[in-house]
Amino acid sequence: MAAVASASVFLVARSISILKPLIPVARKVLPWVLRHPFVLRPRSWWLALVVWVVVSGALLLAGIAGVGVFVPLALVLLVIATGLVGWHMLMKPANLPIVVVTEFAAATPTGVEAVYHHRDAIVERLTNGPLGDYLEVRGVPVAVNRDQAKRLLDAVPASAVVFGSAKAIADQGTWEAELLVRWPGDDTAPSHVTPDLVVEDFDRRTQAPDRHEIMLEPQAPLERLIAERFESHHADRIEGTLLALAAVQGEGAEASAALGAAERYRAQVSSRTRAELEVVRARTEHFESGPAVLQALEEAGLRDADEVALWTFAVGLSFYGLLVGEVSIERHASFAERAVAADPSNPTARYNRGEAYMALRRPEEALAEFDLAAAHPEYRDRYYVHFARGMITYNLGRPAEARDAYRRAVGLCPSARGFLYLADAYRQMGEEGEARVNYRRALKLQPTLVDAHRGYWYIDEPPGKLSLWFDPMYLALARLSPRRARHRVLYRLITFHYRRHPEDSRVHFMLGAHALLLGRLDEAEERLQFAYDLLDGVDIEALARLIIVWALQGRLDDARDGLVRLRETPSPENGDAPTEEELRVRAGDLLSPFIAQPGLTHLAGAEDLRVEILETFPEVFAEADAAATSPAAS
């Protein structure tokens, strides 16, 4: 027993001897970490915790234990836990966007007390002023540098962080206030317009760079900084900027109210902030027309808000004015020019000017703008930039450059039209095999892309059989009975073949023809129309079946127009007017579906179609045989 007691006393004494120097360290370190958790990012604190667990486990497995190991490990764990608690306090949820106001760094001994009062005064002003309705202001009782301010902005997450430094001598102070602001993303760039004037819905959302502003106020009387109103030029600018941020983030009446409050500080805020205010005004105030909004934006930009944010918004607005005929191409391009002049390094401004130059038919200049945009880290992985570069270089007769640009575009975002244009570039370079591969890729993504079928008829030699089994299988199944079962089985066979070989141009007509026989009129119209368009309006059989579909759908006017086209379409052989024999074949094409599926004669519209066929092809049908030629008789 005496030995055990002695051992216990020894362990306690040893623990106290180890803890004694560590207690003062803990008293200093833990409160400091609680106030400065941002020395590490949250994930770095969690990573430190994982490392602590791994190291502790390894020591235990190795049999290394004791007070000398336990106490330092416990202290490290307390530091990590304190850092996580500190971040938790900073990151607590809020109903409003968060603004973090830190204590300014005191550059002189006299400034220590001044910065303490400064933080309290500025938080009080922002909280009790109009800004308190739009943003939650949180004070941090320590000074931070720019890197730590960025961590606060990212991790809290905050809309803005206010920090800085102060030099105070006697009753005067020089204040250098810094404001790190995260403006909402820039999503106002216009949509891309394809050559056929179809607007493509590209995702133009970008993360606007964090805005860093510095406000220097020399020799300010210190008593103003602890007064009830806290009169200070740099505080005015901070409040005005944050009110503008609240206006940008708000909607409707809330945005209008924040805009009105921010206007009081227009003279103090930066030109970027004034530009944001003008964008909010354009969104919230009533104007007579779109051109009137553009006029107001232009006047503000030329007056005191010459910033890329304003001109980019004007570019987007003028683009939609261009679509409806209210804005000229030249005026639209002038806004794009001003955006680049305001910030030549902005990739969105460069891309917008490139599109404006395309509209002005200045391809070389447009390509230069797209190249600059593509070189920017924010835009190098945006497929539509490379797509535009490919379009221009292809039309300029530089297929190798177009191939590289299109290859990059489809690598970032595979699309049917991207593979189609890539195939065209390969074709221009004489690489027929690669062209055929990419035409097929386009059709696999969009089987109804008519243009992609050109890869299968532009060469002199036929491409060969697409499937060794399809044609024999089709011929064998065509002998099945009864008729309806045969049509259903053939339809499934063709559908299976279509999924594997969308490049087989025959399959669209075959699907449409069998859908008609099964009474699936909407699907029959879709496929037959595609087959008709695929051969640029010379597929007589497809047109004949389309006429039947229209008549059975009750669209007799469309059927009449189709019959006129069917009769007047020139001969595919020589381009002359159709011969009597060709007219007889065309009339037979109108009757063959009713012969293959007599049930179609009982559908509404069949009798009306009989009358129209007789009137359109009177020389084909003798008057005595009129009854035999009717769908009902068939």
Structure tokens at 590: 């109108």
In a domain, 617, yes or no: yes
- pLDDT tens track for 266-310: 988 888 889 988 988 888 888 888 889 999 999 999 999 999 989
User: 185 with 252, same domain?
Assistant: yes
**pLDDT digits 0-9 by tens, 108-149:** 776 677 777 777 788 888 888 888 888 888 888 888 888 888
Q: What is the pLDDT of residue 217?
A: 64
Q: Which two tokens stand for residue 145?
A: 């540098």
Same domain, 264 and 167: yes
Percent of the chain whose predicted confidence (pLDDT) is above 70:
81
Would strands 172-181 and 211-221 be described as parallel, antiparallel, or unpaired?
A: antiparallel
- What is the domain count for the chain? 3
Stronger pLDDT, 414 or 22, i.e. the higher one: 414
d(CA 634, CA 628): 7
For residue range 514-537, list pLDDT tens digits in order: 888 888 899 888 888 877 877 777
Is residue 142 domain-resident?
yes
Domain assignment of residue 613, given as a range: 478-629
Comparing 99-103, 176-180, 238-242, the range with the smallest average pLDDT is 176-180
- Write out the DSSP string of 305-345: ---HHHHHHHHHHHHHHHHTTSS-HHHHHHHHHHHHHH-TT
70 plus 171 within the same structural domain = no
Q: Do residues 13 and 67 lie in contact, with contact meaning Cβ atoms separated by under 8 Å?
A: no
**Tell me: the pLDDT tens digits for 436-482?**
888 888 888 887 777 777 665 544 444 444 556 777 777 777 777 77
Q: Give domain status of residue 393, yes or no.
A: no
Answer for the pair 505, 456: CB distance below 8 angstroms, yes or no: yes
DSSP 206: B
CA angle 443, 448, 451 (to 5 degrees): 70
Q: How far is 124 from 102, CA to CA, in rounded Å?
A: 13
Let me know whether 62 and 207 are in one domain. no
Whichever domain contains 561, its CATH number is 1.25.40
Structure tokens at 304: 């005191």
Half-sphere exposure at residue 153, Cβ-oriented, CA atoms within 13 angstroms = 21
pLDDT mean over 329-350:
93
Cα–Cα distance list, 359 to 194, 323, 339, 348 (Å) = 11, 12, 17, 17
Q: Are residues 161 and 233 in the same domain?
A: yes
**How far apart, in whole angstroms, are the C-alpha atoms of residue 598 and residue 459?**
41
Shared domain check, 550 and 529: yes
Mean predicted lDDT score pLDDT of the chain: 80
Tokens matching residue 149: 């301010």
Local structure of residue 384 (DSSP, 8 states): H
Q: Which two tokens stand for residue 94?
A: 């809020």
- 80 and 100 part of one domain: no
pLDDT at 330: 93
Q: What is the pLDDT of residues 193-247, one digit of tens each?
A: 333 333 333 443 344 556 676 766 665 555 555 444 456 778 888 888 888 888 8
Position 388 in a domain = no
What pLDDT does residue 468 have? 63
Q: Which residue has the tokens 């595609």?
A: 530
The answer to whether 379 and 363 have CB atoms below 8 angstroms apart is: no
**12 and 66 assigned to the same domain:** yes
Number of neighbouring beta carbons within 10 Å of residue 252: 9
pLDDT tier for residue 48 given thresholds of 50, 70 and 90: very high
Q: How far apart are CA 253 and CA 476, in angstroms?
A: 73
Q: Is residue 308 part of a domain?
A: no
Q: Is the pLDDT of residue 3 over 70?
A: no
* Structure token pair of residue 501: 């070989």
For residue 170, what pLDDT is reported?
58
Fill in the DSSP letter of residue 457: T
Please enumerate in sequence order all residues whose Cβ is within 8 A of that of 368, keeping only pairs 6 or more positions apart, or say none. 354
User: CA–CA separation, 446 vs 442, rounded Å?
Assistant: 6
Are the beta carbons of 551 and 609 closer than 8 angstroms? yes
Task: Check residue 231 and give its pLDDT.
Answer: 64
Weakest-pLDDT range from 86-100, 494-508, 608-622: 494-508
CA atoms within 13 A on the CB side of 321: 22
Q: What percent of the chain has pLDDT over 90?
A: 18
pLDDT at 410 over 90: yes
Residue finishing a domain among 59, 90, 121: 90
CATH number at residue 112: 3.40.50
Is residue 295 in some structural domain?
A: no
> Element (H or E) spanning 148, and its range?
helix 146-155
Q: What pLDDT score was predicted for residue 10? A: 44
Cβ(275)–Cβ(296) under 8 Å? no
Cβ–Cβ under 8 Å, residues 503 and 456 = yes
Predicted confidence band at 190 (pLDDT cuts at 50, 70, 90)? very low
pLDDT digits (tens, 9 = 90+) for 603-626: 888 888 888 888 888 877 764 354
The pTM of this model reads 0.64
In a domain, 291, yes or no: no
Decide which of 43 and 484 is more confident. 43
Task: Give the containing element (helix H, strand E) for 226.
Answer: none
* Weakest-pLDDT range from 29-33, 79-83, 386-390: 29-33
The pair of structure tokens assigned to 193 is 């317009």
pLDDT computed for residue 22 by the predictor: 64
User: Last residue of some domain: 243, 264, 285?
Assistant: 285
Residue 365 covered by a domain: no
Same domain? 164 vs 253: yes
Same domain, 27 and 146: no
Contacts of 533-541 with CB under 8 Å at 24 or more apart are 533/450, 534/450, 534/453, 534/505, 534/508, 535/505, 537/569, 538/569, 538/572, 539/509, 540/566, 540/569, 540/572, 540/585, 540/586, 540/589, 541/509, 541/513, 541/589
Q: Kindly state whether residues 146 and 258 are assigned to the same domain.
A: yes
Statement to judge: residues 113 and 80 lie in one domain: no
Q: Can you say whether the dihedral through the CA atoms of 305, 311, 316, 318 is positive or negative?
A: positive
Alpha helices in 413-555 (DSSP H): 416-428, 432-445, 470-477, 483-500, 506-517, 521-534, 540-552
Closest CA relative to residue 17, chosen from 77, 75, 74, 67: 67
Residue 119 contacts residue 179 (beta carbons within 8 Å): no
Query: Final residue of a domain: which of 62, 90, 118?
Result: 90
Rounded CA separation 390/211 (Å):
34
Span of 10-24, 346-360, 551-565 with lowest mean pLDDT: 10-24
